[in-house]
A and B are shown apart, each in its own frame.
Chain A
Amino acid sequence: DTGVSQDPRHKITKRGQNVTFRCDPISEHNRLYWYRQTLGQGPEFLTYFQNEAQLEKSRLLSDRFSAERPKGSFSTLEIQRTEQGDSAMYLCASSLESVDEQYFGPGTRLTVT
């Protein structure tokens, strides 16, 4: 068990560009969550998957954000036409369906210039 991994760890992009982040959950975990955390704040829930199905999406997730988990394993989060307000840490977590404990990855820090 290597834990939840995220790639890249850091991303700097120019406003208007598209970015994609990847999350690899713990292998037997069928639930996967995406959060966004800005400096000095708690994480904000964005969306979660059970296997390949996206079961819940926050109102925070604008049309520029899309998440996928095509085979029920890794997930990608894409942000189109990035804005400076998208600068944040993007956290991924995974869990088993039967328990509430979520294991978090190290996060991807996005800076939009």
Chain B
Amino acid sequence: AQKITQTQPGMFVQEKEAVTLDCTYDTSDPSYGLFWYKQPSSGEMIFLIYQGSYDQQNATEGRYSLNFQKARKSANLVISASQLGDSAMYFCAMREGKRNYGQNFVFGPGTRLSVLP
């Protein structure tokens, strides 16, 4: 079974508008972490935002926020005020297990975001 599901292979958004990229996850481990990474066409993975399973509040980093709905096992990325430079592949990922113990990292298949001028 897929541990990370990203149901939108491609998304389009108009410049300056907000966009939500969907991510659902599957784990039975009570301790886990959720990440979003951006991969531009240059290929390098860029960390965007992190949410721990025990964090009470949704994570935010500048224009990025993570809409964490634990009961639904959903961790959607919201990008506000889209910019042309936001065009890239976006990957949702999960760390299972506690940070200081044996861990497993799983990435989703990605969503390609295209920002239109």
A-side interface residues toward B, CB under 8 Å? 33, 35, 40-45, 48, 55-56, 58, 89, 91, 93, 97-98, 100-107
Contact = CB atoms under 8 A, between A and B. Distances in A.
Given A41-B109, A42-B107, A107 B44 contact: yes
A51 B25 CA distance: 30
Interface string B39-75: 0000111110010100000000000000000000000
Contacts of B33: 100
Interface in B79-117: 91, 93, 95, 99-100, 102-110
Interface of B: 4, 33, 35, 37, 43-47, 50, 52, 91, 93, 95, 99-100, 102-110
Contact of A33 (B4, B37, B105, B106): B105
Contacts of B100: 97
A101 B47 contact: yes
Contacts of B108: 42
Contact of B105 (A45, A89, A101, A103): A45
Of B47, B52, B100, which is in contact with the most chain A CB atoms at under 10 Å from its CB?
A: B47
Nearest to B44: A106
Nearest to B105: A45
A23 B13 CA distance: 36
20 contacts: A42-B4, A42-B109, A43-B93, A43-B107, A45-B106, A55-B102, A55-B103, A56-B103, A56-B104, A91-B45, A93-B45, A97-B99, A97-B100, A100-B35, A100-B99, A101-B47, A102-B47, A105-B44, A106-B44, A107-B43
